[in-house]
Amino acid sequence: MAELAAAEGFPTPTMLLGPDATSDAVNGTLAKQATRLVAGDLLLVTYSGHGSFRPDYGGDDEDGFDETFVLYDRQLLDDELWLAWSKFEQGVRILFVCDSCHSGTVARRVAVEAALDRVAEPPVDVAAPPARRGRVRRLPPEARRRDFEARRGVYGAVARRTPSPDDVDVTATVLLFAACQDDEEAIEDEDGGVFTKALIGAWKTVSIRNYGELFDAIVDRVSGQSPNYLTLGREDPAFEQQRPFTS
């Protein structure tokens, strides 16, 4: 994705890999960009790694779970991403490409609650026939339980400092390209994520005029998971009709 961005004229990207990919680094980098960008600017945000979930005790998330990114120090809640998007001014366009499990609505607003006295399983069976699967980009159930047990206080603090969803308004426009639905797992093979490879392959080989066409070309190249296309914040039909990766 960094090579694709460079080829399309984006400046040198901020790369957060391994120990550098902490919650503070991600939140801080997004906050810094929010102070720099103005209406008409385009921000490309990509994530490739494990995705997970935690119970939504507030009841505002239809599937009963908050989706998360598994970063180096802790999981980053989708609520935190919604707060990050709210700091961008109206007219800023954000393309968010997410190659991880349970990523279908990871960019959207849901409730944050402090209760962490239990960790539930996903709302549906996410297993798929082995013949259709490689490795999956999910946090194994036992690791997920250990994480919430070890960081109960950390996640409680995150919940307390995250504003209520009703108090957070996003006036920028966020377009999410997600590798799969919230109840699915993202597949990878020896060359990397299936979704990312499909995106890059489509971009290199197909004449793409807008984001809808790019998404359709990705879907045609992916099996075993169902990518998601989601818009958030202020409606901007012109953004969706632009040639992808251009301002």
Task: Show the domains of the chain with their CATH numbers.
Answer: 2-241 (3.40.50.1460)
Its pTM stands at 0.82
Section 226-247 average pLDDT: 93
pLDDT for the residue numbered 185: 83
Section 59-81 average pLDDT: 76
Q: Worst-scoring range by mean pLDDT, 91-105, 126-140, 153-167?
A: 126-140
**Tokens 């999956």, residue located:** 136
Report pLDDT digits (tens) over 32-67.
999 999 999 999 999 998 877 666 544 444 545 667
Section 207-232 average pLDDT: 93
H or E element: which one contains 75?
Answer: strand 75-77
Give the CA distances from residue 222 to residues 105, 142, 218, 227, in Å, rounded to whole numbers and listed in that order. Answer: 19, 29, 6, 8
**Tokens 């004449």, residue located:** 207
Q: 96: helix, coil or strand? A: strand
pLDDT for the residue numbered 134: 61
Please report which confidence band the pLDDT of residue 223 belongs to, taking 50, 70 and 90 as the band edges. Answer: confident
pLDDT for the residue numbered 9: 92
pLDDT for the residue numbered 106: 56
Q: What percentage of the chain reaches a pLDDT higher than 70?
A: 79
Whether the pLDDT of residue 21 is over 50: the answer is yes
**Tokens 């997004």, residue located:** 30
| Residue 84: CB atoms within 10 Å | 23
Q: Can you list the alpha helix ranges (DSSP code H) found in the chain?
A: 2-7, 23-36, 78-86, 141-150, 152-161, 194-205, 211-221, 237-241
Q: Which two tokens stand for residue 41?
A: 């600017």
pLDDT for the residue numbered 181: 81
Nearest to 80 by CA among 118, 25, 14: 25
Whether the pLDDT of residue 158 is over 90: the answer is no
pLDDT for the residue numbered 31: 97
Q: Which amino acid belongs to residue 236?
A: D
Nearest to 122 by CA among 52, 189, 169, 72: 52
Q: Worst-scoring range by mean pLDDT, 81-90, 162-171, 228-237?
A: 162-171
pLDDT for the residue numbered 23: 96
Section 164-182 average pLDDT: 87
Nearest to 46 by CA among 32, 29, 34, 63: 29
Section 199-222 average pLDDT: 94
Is 135:93 a contact under the CB 8 Å cutoff?
Answer: no
Please report which confidence band the pLDDT of residue 17 belongs to, taking 50, 70 and 90 as the band edges. Answer: very high
Section 2-20 average pLDDT: 93
Whether the pLDDT of residue 217 is over 60: the answer is yes
Chain-wide mean pLDDT for the chain? 82
Q: 165: helix, coil or strand? A: helix
CA–CA separation, 186 vs 204, rounded Å? 22
